[in-house]
Structure 1
């Protein structure tokens, strides 16, 4: 699980990071082995680093200088419709604005004076995030690797007839067999086999074209003629029910 926090007040940023880490260590100690926490001193710094699918949770101060947390959230929603966004705020007056970006919750500052509300909000959001965390164990260059399923954009077979797993920020070849990955992914609601030995994660589809999917990373993934009708129906169902 990877979380990002953005706040232009250094003390508040460090307090938020500390409280998030302490909460996860206490409530979900098993999640700590795959836990990453990135902190940013401004909304602009976060947006420079942001990519769809990179984070499982964003915590944004709503009153940052220059670009506000709300403005950052609106920019993020253009790239990633699903990532939960929680706002840090000193006032409840702006809570209604969060509907525009489907805010998952609010944390009142200073956090040290609102720990009960903090625990309630985190306890509401984190279980669903952690439930979705599933890993595929494989080997890359002789080293054991656990791949977070939610980070898989698509997988295919390369010219060397090896399975390639395309993640948000990298691609690697693995000795794992295609059918092994297929068995693990194909029954998940967001994965679909659109072509012989190609499986995509529909969470990362930018748009469906006549004979291909354009993925958010810019890759074009083909749709076979034989699977086109079924693929279109499944993708439409996914869009309606996601």
Structure 2
């Protein structure tokens, strides 16, 4: 596996120096940039395409959770680890965005174990993406007393909503507790992560509607009234799913 590219953001230089020192001793870790504010972190992410970010929960220009949202818009599958001096921050908020959180003062063993866990997770994900294994043509969802089978070509989009994931398809909507990242492993090549909260079936797209001064576009589907979101910085990647663009 290629090295895990890491960025970090903290307005305390000593914290970043310590993190850099710890990660430099770990095989597979490659720190590609550090920043003391959210603006520079966003720029770093766009330039370096990192796999993992260590984020202070309190930055001078933005809250860490808000920054995590913006980074996920740029790279939806990025792993996030929050760094905080305040144990009282809501763990529910962390769970929405983070792979882990680390309390200050920084504990070296905690950083090591967190990185190794994320490294293994990313390694498994990349192996599954590059495997020659032919994915099945349908998935099954457990609905309590019954299990339904959904053909992949009948899915319009999949949306993460709160603690659940909604699968919108030709015969209705179905709810599951599986995350988008878990479901992605079983979807076909026509599925695309358009936004941190959406996976869309590119074969079902009818049109994309953009709005002035918005960071998002709406995706409309054939024979479906609902819409999905597409981050503007993902448009060029989505265009690769078309044979011809003018």
Q: TM-score range by the shorter chain?
A: 0.5 to 0.7
Tell me the secondary structure at the aligned position of residue 85 of structure 1. Answer: strand
Counterpart of 1:131?
124
**Alpha-carbon contact 1:52-1:79 (below 8 Å) kept:** no
Q: TM-score, normalised by structure 1?
A: 0.53
Q: Does 1:14 align with 2:40?
A: no
TM-score (norm 2): 0.52
Structure 1: 5+ residue stretches without partners:
26-30, 135-147, 150-187, 195-200, 225-242
Gaps of 5+ in 2: 131-184, 209-218, 220-229
- Cα 1:122–1:65, aligned 2, differ >3 Å: closer, same or farther? same
**Structure 2 partner of 1:202:** 192
Question: Is 1:74–1:101's contact at 8 Å kept on the other side of the alignment?
Answer: no
Alpha-carbon separation, structure 2, partners of 1:100 and 1:107: 13
Find out whether 1:116 has 2:109 as its counterpart. yes
- 1:189/1:21 Cα in 2 relative to 1: closer, same or farther (>3 Å)? farther
Contact 1:7 1:60 in 2 (8 A): yes
Would the aligned equivalents of 1:190 and 1:202 in 2 still touch at CA under 8 Å? Answer: no
Distance (Å, rounded) in 2 between the aligned partners of 1:53 and 1:18: 20
The alpha-carbon distance between structure 1 residues 84 and 70, as it changes in their structure 2 partners (threshold 3 A), is same
1:66 to 40, 54, 61: 61
Name the structure where helix makes up a greater proportion of residues: 1
State how many pairs are aligned.
158
The 1:98/1:120 distance shift into structure 2, 3 A limit, reads farther
Shift of 1:7: 0.7
Once the two structures are TM-superposed, the CA of residue 131 in structure 1 deviates from its matched residue by: 3.2
Question: 3-state SS of the aligned residue for 2:78?
Answer: coil
Corresponding residue number in structure 2 for 1:152 = none
User: For the aligned residues, what is the CA RMSD?
Assistant: 3.7
Instruction: For 2:51 and 2:31, locate their aligned partners in 1 and report how far apart those are by CA, in whole Å.
Output: 10
Counterpart of 1:3? 6
Question: Which has the larger strand fraction?
Answer: 2
